[in-house]
Amino acid sequence: MKALAIDPLVFSLLRSLTDVVLVGGRTARAEGYRPVRVTAERQRDRLARGQRATPLVAVVTRGPGLPPGSPLLAEGAGTLLLTTAAGARAAPEGLTAVVAGRDHVDLRAPSPSCGPAAWPRCSARAARRWPVPS
């Protein structure tokens, strides 16, 4: 197989194994990001490993991040917003926002309320809020 034919397969497999797909807000908007799709077989495998049926999508942005009507805002999409304090205040209703800095997003923030250590808690909360049927 040519590399171009294999790349989407590898990309799809990697996405099916991860807990969270991390994407910048500008990229999510420009490329029209959608919730991650996973085959029924891979959903069963994920559930057997104790994961959600599909990965969450974490959008990193200083602002509210997603335009109205974005597929990532749909009920059940399982989207997290990693943002600033102002971005969290402007986040769309129902979207789980994790504050990761006051003026700039800092994913290395040491505080348990805003750094990577908070993601599992937020992911669990998002999983309860937006269960994805298997």
* DSSP of 68-124: TT-GGGSTT--EEEEE-HHHHHTSPTT-EEEE--SSS--TT--STTTSGGGHHHHHH
pLDDT of residue 57: 92
pLDDT tens, residue by residue, 44-93: 999 998 888 999 999 999 886 788 889 998 888 888 888 888 888 888 87
Q: CA–CA distance from 17 to each of 42, 55, 60 (Å)?
A: 8, 8, 21
Mean local confidence (pLDDT), 95-101: 83
Q: How confident is the model at residue 134 (pLDDT cuts 50, 70, 90)?
A: very low
Please report, rounded to a whole number, the percentage of residues in the chain having pLDDT higher than 70: 75
pLDDT of residue 4: 64
* Residue 62 three-state SS: coil
20 bridge partner residues: 56
pLDDT for residue 27 is more than 50: yes
pLDDT for residue 24 is more than 60: yes
